C-alpha cells in the first residue's frame, strides 16, 4: 500500500497539485495504522461497493469515471479533499458515512462487478493485475496447456497506432522481474488480463 501511495504522490506532482511533506506523512502514518489495526478485516472478500445504496453507487461510479477520464486518481482526489477539510461535492457521503477504512478496502477488482474494468478504471503505472498465459501460449480449457493466471505490476502504459487504428499497449513486470508487453490491452487482448487484489 505504501508503494501505491508513493505512486499517487508522484501522480499528484505530475498533475501540478503536489502534497506537502506533512500531508504525505499523515497518509503514510494512516496506512501504517490501518495495517497494524488487527480489528480491521483486511482479508474481507466482500465488495465495499455493495455497501452503497443504489443512488450512492451511481453517483460514486460517475465520479470515479470522470476522474479517470481526466487522468486523475479518484482516491487521491478524495484523500486530498479530506486532508484539506474540503467538501467533496456529491461524493461527500463517502467521507461522512463510510470513512477511510472503506476507501482503503476498495480495490480496482471490485469495480468489475458493476461494469467492465476499462469502462471505469484505466490501467496506471503501479496497478496490480493478473495476466493469462494465453497471451504467450496456445491454451485451451481441454488441452494439456490450460489457462493459468500470473500476478504482475503495470510499469508503463502507452498509446500506439498503425495506419488506421489507435490502441493502448501495457508493459508489465512479473514478480520474478521478467517484463512483457501486452499490445491492444483494451482491444484484442482485453480477455487475457484482470485486476489483481
**133-182, pLDDT tens digit by residue?**
888 887 777 777 788 888 999 898 888 877 788 888 889 899 898 998 88
pTM of the model: 0.56
Taking only the tens place, the pLDDT of each residue in 79-93 is 888 888 888 889 899
Looking at residues 55-72, what average pLDDT do you find? 84
- Residue 118 in this model has a pLDDT that exceeds 80: no
SS3 7: helix
pLDDT surpassing 70 at residue 38 = no
Separation of CA 191 from chain center? 17
What would the grid cell of residue 122 be? 484505466
Q: How far is CA 190 from the centre of its chain?
A: 16
What residue has cell string 498533475?
A: 15
C-alpha span between 150 and 196 (Å, rounded) = 9
The per-residue pLDDT for 39 is 42
Chain CA centroid to CA 4, Å: 9
3-state secondary structure of 33: helix
Amino acid at each position: 500500500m505504501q508503494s501505491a501511495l508513493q505512486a499517487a504522490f508522484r501522480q499528484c506532482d505530475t498533475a501540478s497539485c503536489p502534497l506537502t511533506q506533512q500531508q504525505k506523512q499523515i497518509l503514510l502514518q494512516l496506512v501504517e495504522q490501518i495495517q497494524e489495526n488487527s480489528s480491521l478485516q483486511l482479508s474481507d472478500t466482500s465488495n465495499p461497493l455493495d455497501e452503497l445504496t443504489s443512488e450512492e453507487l451511481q453517483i460514486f461510479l460517475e465520479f470515479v469515471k470522470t476522474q479517470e477520464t481526466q487522468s486523475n486518481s479518484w482516491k487521491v482526489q478524495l484523500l486530498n479533499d479530506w486532508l484539506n477539510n474540503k467538501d467533496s461535492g456529491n461524493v461527500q457521503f463517502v467521507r461522512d458515512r463510510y470513512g477511510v477504512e472503506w476507501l482503503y478496502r476498495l480495490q480496482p477488482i471490485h469495480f468489475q462487478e458493476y461494469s467492465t474494468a476499462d469502462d471505469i478504471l484505466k490501467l496506471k503505472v503501479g496497478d496490480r493485475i493478473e495476466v493469462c498465459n494465453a497471451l504467450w501460449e496456445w491454451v485451451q480449457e481441454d488441452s494439456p496447456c490450460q489457462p493459468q493466471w500470473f500476478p504482475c505490476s503495470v510499469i508503463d502504459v502507452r498509446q500506439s497506432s498503425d495506419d488506421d487504428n489507435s490502441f493502448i499497449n501495457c508493459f508489465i513486470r512479473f514478480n520474478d522481474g521478467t517484463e512483457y508487453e501486452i499490445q491492444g490491452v483494451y482491444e484484442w487482448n482485453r480477455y487475457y488480463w484482470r485486476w489483481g487484489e
